[in-house]
Amino acid sequence: MGETVGNLIGLNDEVIHPAATLAVEAHNSQSKQFLVKKIKIRHDHSSVVVLAFSGSMFPDDWLGQPPFGKTKIDTGKFPSLTSLNDGGDAVVNGSFLGRFNGVLDKLSHDKELKKAIEKKRQVVFSGYSSAGPIAILATLYFLENRTLSPRCLTFGSPLLGDRIFGHALRREGWSDYFTHFVMKYDIIPRIMLSPSSTEHAQILNYFKSKFDRKNINPAPPSGFYLTVMGNASSVASYEACHLMGCRNPSLDIIKSFIELSPYRPSGTYVFCTGNGNLLVVKNPNAVLQILIHCTELGESNTAEVEKRSLDEHSAYLSELKECLGMQAVVSLDGGPATATLNDLGLSPQAMLCLQAAEEFENRRSRNLEKIGKYLEKIEVELEMLRKYKENAQISGLGYYDSFKLQNEDDDFRANVRRLELAGMWDEIKEMLKEFELPDEFEKKREIIDLGTKYRRLVEPLDIANFYRHSKDKETGAYVIGGGPRPKRYRFTQRWLEHQEKKPFGSRSESLFWADVEQLGIDIKKKGYLQEIKDRIHQLERNMIAWIDVDKSLDKDVLLEKTTFVKWWRDLPIECKSESERIEKLIGEKAAGV
Amino acid sequence: MLATFLSSTPVLQDSWRLCSLANTAATVVTDHVRGVAYVAFPGTVMPSGGANLVALDAAPDGLFPPLQQRQHEDPPMIHAAIVDHFRSFYTSTTFHNQILAEIDKSKAVVMTGHSMGGAVASLSALWLLSYLQSITSSLPVLCITFGSPLLGNDSFLRAILRERWAGNFCHVVSNHDFIPRLFLAPLPSLSAHHAHFVLQFWQLLMNVLQSDSETAKIFGFLLPYIQGWVANMEEECVKSPFSPFGNYLFFSEEGAVCVDDAAAAGKMLELMFTKASPGSSIEDHLKYGDYTEKASWQLLMRKSFTLGEPPESSYEAGLALAVQSCGLANQESISGPAKECLKMAKRVNRLSPHLNAANLSIILSKNVPYRTQIEWYKASCDKSDDQMGYYDSFKLRGASKKGAKINMNRCLLAGFWDNVIHMLESNQLPHDFLKREKWVNASHFYKLLVEPLDIADYYRTGMHLTHGHYLKNGREERYEIFDRWWKGREVGNEENNRRTTHASLTQDSCFWARVEEARDWLDQIRSESDMRRSAMLWQDIENFERYATRLVENKEVSMDVLAKNSSFTLLMEELQDLKSKSQQFPPQFPAFLNGEMVP
């Protein structure tokens, strides 16, 4: 043993219980939006600042629009919480997001927090019950801003975000900063897996009156358990089907007939088994399965479990005190933890689901190895294409035009290379889309660099091929919206933009030729409209920036015989805005060769 | 796991609720729950007609066009009486209106029915799927039947698999219910030796829902017979012509199992039936309400192994759990075969559909050089001095190495695409495969490029003399499938693009086949003496001419069509020649042959 919870989640053990205490206190505080407290750590005399948020048990503060209150996250505040491969932005519970926005202003002007940032103290955001999501969002907000690197502790928090949300967290490497404590039967962490219903309101109203008037014990509601957990178990079994590689098409057909909750767990979960043991789980799929399966009804009857599911939500402080004292901690990711899993009372079926969750992670690592071999091949192919490009430059035509004409055997071979590369990148793309590669994949420097190199070198060839065959007649222009531009270029562009924190679409230098070609076609069709002129000016400005400033576009587009130079020189003078500079660049290039 | 998921959803319970309503009311009942339309067919209405199979093509006047018979296959057959029964619903005017009205206001449709109603629901769902396919709608359709009798034969199953509709069907079968097993006993013998069964069969089917003692008596007679058949299935060489299709969801006291493999489902139908008694068989046919309700909590109830030592691997454990869910774990003699059977159903495939698709892009990229070589070939033919275009160059090619190589590529590509289609039809590719532009586009460009070569080869080898023209008799099935894919793709903001230059590939891949046919007509006219026949031929030729003119004017043909020595140009010249000679048809030619359009 020897491991403590603190070790496993990267936080001092002495912080956890005070943070929980403050969280419960803050949750019931009506007057303040959050409470701040400084905790001295005994052994190294450092101090940690804990900030706990207040909560609300009004059903409206939990779920805005039925059935799930889904809202796209505000990517202005949270630019990282999106998928880099067409999966869209992360979805979160809109009511929680709204409450966070309500507290944000006060939070960012808080003196004690500012002081903590100045003194570079460790900051922990903490939240109990409905304040948990607020703490998560606050932590994320500061992680995005890079002003500090806070931690997040929640106790009995409902789920906040969907699969993309968790994926983005893991991709950015932030997942370990979030720790969620969950009691074995507590209903609240599971409630968001079920659509909004009268049962929801029943449960929340019960807690509301319980927290408001501390001395009177309201009558607990009954009959909600099977409905809520029934819906939650749909989610779990649906995910389990996927983990186990179920290939039956009915699975997705049936899914379109019901509304499954979009929310999934993210971050590290610590389960309190009820007899002092703690189970730490990081694999999000395993967390979901445990959340559902550990509540399975055994011999005990429904009414009893129903009551426990309510009682345990208000038992965190006492339970944590016991657990943290014992420090009987097991991590699921460290290997088989059968004894603790038995404490949770998991059935054989649940064990199978957990194994499947683990196997899924293993499969992702295996896929990554396979992709590793591709990357070497890609390097080799790119090198060959680079040589092709050099040779084409010597002929004075540039490789874009030479490829478009397809006159030489070399051009033909380059075309075959282009297609082989496309196959490899498409496979990578396919795997990413299905989450078959580790979440961090799109954040790896060498991958982004290779993707960029590939995109800048090969996309012009795709464009040449596209316009050579006049495919725009069949499918519309190359770049338009969801048009025919291959996704492998969109993804790789997005990776770079994300890494550089630039807006979507700002790194489109590889689309230069598509712009040129499409402008040529549109001018023939429509003449020199103002809109066309604007586009020409934009193109000129972009080109100068790409060539001169960040060198992302190669100067061979300036060769005198290229489509671009010929086309640009034919433009009427009033359409050009950067005439001199571009002529100068062309001149330089000609002199250089 | 799928069974657990299915039963935890409210879909099953809602369906059953409506089925009971339909049974009581003895009419079709519809309802809306959360935007999903439910249509339930009553199981209490009496059908008429014999218990034999009819071919699908002949039976319902082309109600299910996509399921038509294919070459070299047995015709899909379904139960005659059930089709008749379905038609009695179908022909009533309210049926159409009712269902189409439901479609308009819902995001999904569930067809459901109990007993006989289940079979009708299956046919209605098939009809709806066919209809939706014809209007390229992707409205989700699900068919849930409770204790429905078997419906069709093996070819029927294959036709459904090919359309990838099997996943839209879920047949719920409770432990000992006898109706789904009824047709496991072969029909011919049923009618020959036990004529009275057939006579009383429908009576039985109806009365069973009222559960009177008379039926119990008849049934007591029938049950041993079916069970006997089932037990001896291995030895007897006459097999039941019926085959299950779609998913089978088996309920037992212990849980539920879902099987999508037809053979495994058939076997499970047998195995779970072996311990049935007359009482339990009838009771289970009526008890679906209980089963669905119980199953919905199933996941919340803890299960543990009831016997034996814990299995070694997770795979074995999964199987053992499944066997237990069928309620067979305590029956030594059956649990073994049941395990085998479920193993067969699981048939672990190492690659998921998505990875298959990913892998396929690699294979595609390996095949693409063949295609580029053909493109290269086309370009070189189009530019060459003989000005024939690549169609004619390929058709009239000598023993050149280049031509042979291209021919080889053509065959390799055909093999590749046939494999893609096969993978798709056997459900090895993701469900949304056809929504991926990459594949639809790739297949389309392949078709445009290579089909002319196929046509050239067809006419070059004189196949048209023995088999008839290409369009009707020689066209490979894959091209028709690709046509469907292309038509079914999601068309975005298609601006009405007028072509300014000629297309790089002729947009109608069958263009050359039409040219060949027109040439044939022209030759016939020359030798035709019968005025009426010749007038008809002229009609055909004029149609062709209009079609070709439109294509040429829209620049939807590639340059090779208009090459000076292409067979199209030659044909047009000949036609003009013939027309000017014959006085009865005033010349009505467009300008495209006057020189300026011919490069």
**Where does A469-560 have alpha helices with state H?**
472-475, 487-499, 512-526, 530-544
Side-chain half-sphere exposure of A193, counting CA atoms within 13 A: 27
Most confident of B2-6, B485-489, B585-589: B485-489
pLDDT score at A140: 92
Query: If DSSP codes are grouped into helix, strand and coil, which group holds residue A279?
Result: strand
The answer to whether A344 contacts chain B (CB < 8 Å) is: no
Cβ neighbours of A202 (radius 10 Å): 16
Q: Which residues of A touch B317 (CB under 8 A)?
A: 348, 351-352
What percentage of chain B reaches a pLDDT higher than 70? 63
Asked if residues A126 and A22 have their Cβ atoms less than 8 Å apart, the reply is: yes
pLDDT score at A202: 84
Q: In Å, what is the CA distance from A130 to each residue of A60, A155, A292, A341, B228?
A: 12, 9, 20, 28, 63
Q: Rounded to a whole number, what is the distance in Å from the CA of A112 to chain B's nearest CA? A: 47
Among residues A186, A411, A472, A515, the one annotated as catalytic is A186
pTM to 2 decimal places: 0.79
Question: What is the rounded distance in angstroms from the CA atom of residue A232 to the CA atom of residue A263?
Answer: 10
Per-residue pLDDT band for B341 (boundaries 50, 70, 90) equals: low
How would you write B359-424 as a 3-class SS string? HHHHHHHHHHHHHHHHHHHHHHHHHCCCCCHHHHHHHCCCCCHHHHHHHHHHHHHHHHHHHHHHHH
Tell me which residues of chain A, numbers 244 to 273, contact chain B at a CB-CB cutoff of 8 Å.
Answer: 244-254, 256-259
Type of residue at A574: E
Cβ neighbours of B3 (radius 10 Å): 23
Among residues B7, B15, B106, B115, the one annotated as catalytic is B115
Asked if residues A72 and A142 have their Cβ atoms less than 8 Å apart, the reply is: no
Question: What is the rounded distance in angstroms from the CA atom of residue A348 to the CA atom of residue A351?
Answer: 5
Asked if residues A262 and A163 have their Cβ atoms less than 8 Å apart, the reply is: yes
Q: Rounded to a whole number, what is the distance in Å from the CA of A28 to chain B's nearest CA? A: 32
Q: Which of A252, A296, A433 has the CB atom closest to B301's CB atom?
A: A296
Among residues B14, B177, B260, B457, the one annotated as catalytic is B177
pLDDT score at B274: 66
pLDDT score at B348: 44
Per-residue pLDDT band for B50 (boundaries 50, 70, 90) equals: low
If you average pLDDT over residues B59-86, what whole number do you get?
Answer: 67
Residue B153 has pLDDT above 60, yes or no: yes
Q: Which of A244, A245, A253 has the CB atom closest to B140's CB atom?
A: A253
The answer to whether the CB atoms of B140 and A257 lie below 8 A apart is yes
Asked if residues A89 and A73 have their Cβ atoms less than 8 Å apart, the reply is: yes
- Tokens 């091209």 belong to B479
pLDDT in tens, B13-38: 788 888 888 777 777 888 887 778 88
If you average pLDDT over residues A284-295, what whole number do you get?
Answer: 85
If you average pLDDT over residues B472-480, what whole number do you get?
Answer: 80
Torsion B83-B88-B91-B93 (CA) sign: negative
pLDDT score at A155: 93
Q: Rounded to a whole number, what is the distance in Å from the CA of A5 to chain B's nearest CA? A: 29
If you average pLDDT over residues A504-530, what whole number do you get?
Answer: 84
Q: Which helix (H) or strand (E) holds B281?
A: helix B278-286
Asked if residues B51 and B187 have their Cβ atoms less than 8 Å apart, the reply is: yes
Most A CBs within 10 Å, among B4, B5, B370, B371, to test the A interface:
B5
Among residues A167, A180, A313, A498, the one annotated as catalytic is A313
Per-residue pLDDT band for B443 (boundaries 50, 70, 90) equals: confident
* Among the listed residues B264, B186, B273, the one whose alpha carbon sits nearest the alpha carbon of residue B224: B273
Which DSSP state fits B272? H
If you average pLDDT over residues A381-401, what whole number do you get?
Answer: 86
Asked if residues A410 and A486 have their Cβ atoms less than 8 Å apart, the reply is: no
For A573, counting Cβ atoms within 10 Å of its Cβ (0-12 exposed, 13-18 middle, 19+ buried), the class is exposed
Asked if residues A519 and A536 have their Cβ atoms less than 8 Å apart, the reply is: yes
The answer to whether the CB atoms of A249 and B362 lie below 8 A apart is no
The answer to whether B110 contacts chain A (CB < 8 Å) is: yes
Torsion B54-B56-B59-B60 (CA) sign: positive
If you average pLDDT over residues B166-180, what whole number do you get?
Answer: 81
Question: What is the rounded distance in angstroms from the CA atom of residue A490 to the CA atom of residue A514?
Answer: 14
Mean pLDDT of chain A: 84
Question: What is the rounded distance in angstroms from the CA atom of residue B495 to the CA atom of residue B506?
Answer: 20
φ, ψ of residue B493 to 5 degrees: the values are -80, 80
The answer to whether the CB atoms of B164 and A298 lie below 8 A apart is no
Question: What is the rounded distance in angstroms from the CA atom of residue A352 to the CA atom of residue A359?
Answer: 10
Which DSSP state fits B47? P
Most A CBs within 10 Å, among B300, B432, B489, B493, to test the A interface:
B300
If you average pLDDT over residues B489-517, what whole number do you get?
Answer: 68
3-state helix, strand, coil in chain A (%, to 5): 60, 10, 30
φ, ψ of residue A26 to 5 degrees: the values are -65, -35
Tally A–B CB contacts below 8 A: 203
Torsion B341-B347-B348-B354 (CA) sign: negative
What percentage of chain A reaches a pLDDT higher than 90? 13
Per-residue pLDDT band for B219 (boundaries 50, 70, 90) equals: low
The answer to whether the CB atoms of A480 and B108 lie below 8 A apart is no
Asked if residues B312 and B269 have their Cβ atoms less than 8 Å apart, the reply is: no
N- to C-terminal Cα distance for chain A?
70
Question: What is the rounded distance in angstroms from the CA atom of residue A332 to the CA atom of residue B296?
Answer: 30
Among residues B79, B285, B444, B464, the one annotated as catalytic is B285
pLDDT in tens, A147-195: 778 899 999 999 999 989 999 999 988 998 999 999 988 889 988 888 8
Degrees, nearest 5: CA angle A33-A36-A37:
155
pLDDT in tens, B545-569: 888 888 888 777 777 777 777 888 8
B454 is an active site residue: no
Side-chain half-sphere exposure of B12, counting CA atoms within 13 A: 27
Residue partners of A83: CB distance under 8 A and separation at least 6: A89, A90, A164, A167, A168
Q: Which residues of B touch A356 (CB under 8 A)?
A: 314
Residues in chain A, overall count: 593
Q: What's the Rg (C-alpha) of chain A? A: 29
Residue B177 has pLDDT above 70, yes or no: yes
Most confident of A84-98, A334-348, B266-280, B548-562: A84-98
Q: Which two tokens stand for residue B286?
A: 């009526």
Per-residue pLDDT band for B216 (boundaries 50, 70, 90) equals: low
CA A392 to chain centre: 42
Asked if residues B87 and B127 have their Cβ atoms less than 8 Å apart, the reply is: no
pLDDT score at A180: 94
pLDDT score at A166: 92
Asked if residues A276 and A328 have their Cβ atoms less than 8 Å apart, the reply is: yes
Full DSSP string of B477-530: HHHHHHHHHHHHS-------PPPSS--SS-S-TTHHHHHHHHHHHHHHHHH---
Question: What is the rounded distance in angstroms from the CA atom of residue A534 to the CA atom of residue A546?
Answer: 18
Tell me which residues of chain A, numbers 408 to 467, contact chain B at a CB-CB cutoff of 8 Å.
Answer: 412, 415-416, 419-424, 426-427, 430-431, 433-434, 436
The answer to whether A531 contacts chain B (CB < 8 Å) is: no
Asked if residues B524 and B471 have their Cβ atoms less than 8 Å apart, the reply is: no
pLDDT score at B220: 59
For B79, counting Cβ atoms within 10 Å of its Cβ (0-12 exposed, 13-18 middle, 19+ buried), the class is buried
- Residues forming a β-bridge with B248: B171, B259
Residue B496 has pLDDT above 50, yes or no: no
Asked if residues A500 and A515 have their Cβ atoms less than 8 Å apart, the reply is: no
Peptide bond into A67 cis (omega under 30): yes
Which DSSP state fits A89? B
pLDDT score at B465: 79
Q: Which of B1, B107, B492 has the CB atom closest to A240's CB atom?
A: B1
Q: What's the Rg (C-alpha) of chain B? A: 30
pLDDT score at B590: 43
Q: In Å, what is the CA distance from B514 to each residue of A183, B458, B526, B593?
A: 74, 13, 19, 19
The answer to whether the CB atoms of A476 and B437 lie below 8 A apart is no
If you average pLDDT over residues A346-373, what whole number do you get?
Answer: 83
Residue B257 has pLDDT above 70, yes or no: yes
Q: Which two tokens stand for residue A359?
A: 């196997």
Cβ neighbours of A9 (radius 10 Å): 24
Most confident of B87-96, B315-324, B325-334, B558-567: B558-567
pLDDT in tens, A105-136: 888 888 888 888 888 888 999 999 889 999 99
* Among the listed residues B537, B499, B487, B551, the one whose alpha carbon sits nearest the alpha carbon of residue B137: B487
Q: In Å, what is the CA distance from A431 to each residue of A169, A428, B358?
A: 19, 5, 7
Residues in chain B, overall count: 599
pLDDT score at B432: 67
The answer to whether B356 contacts chain A (CB < 8 Å) is: no
Asked if residues B79 and B152 have their Cβ atoms less than 8 Å apart, the reply is: yes
Residue B47 has pLDDT above 60, yes or no: no
pLDDT score at A160: 92
Q: Which two tokens stand for residue B186?
A: 């072969």
Mean pLDDT of chain B: 71
Side-chain half-sphere exposure of A528, counting CA atoms within 13 A: 10
Q: Which residue has the higher pLDDT, B470 or A52?
A: A52
If you average pLDDT over residues B152-157, what whole number do you get?
Answer: 80
Residue A494 has pLDDT above 90, yes or no: no
Query: If DSSP codes are grouped into helix, strand and coil, which group holds residue A330?
Result: strand
Query: If DSSP codes are grouped into helix, strand and coil, which group holds residue B302?
Result: coil
Torsion over CA of B336, B339, B341 and B343, rounded to 10 degrees?
Answer: -140
B425 to chain A: closest CA residue: A249
Task: Indicate the range of A23-27, A272-276, A327-331, B502-506 predicted with least confidence.
Answer: B502-506
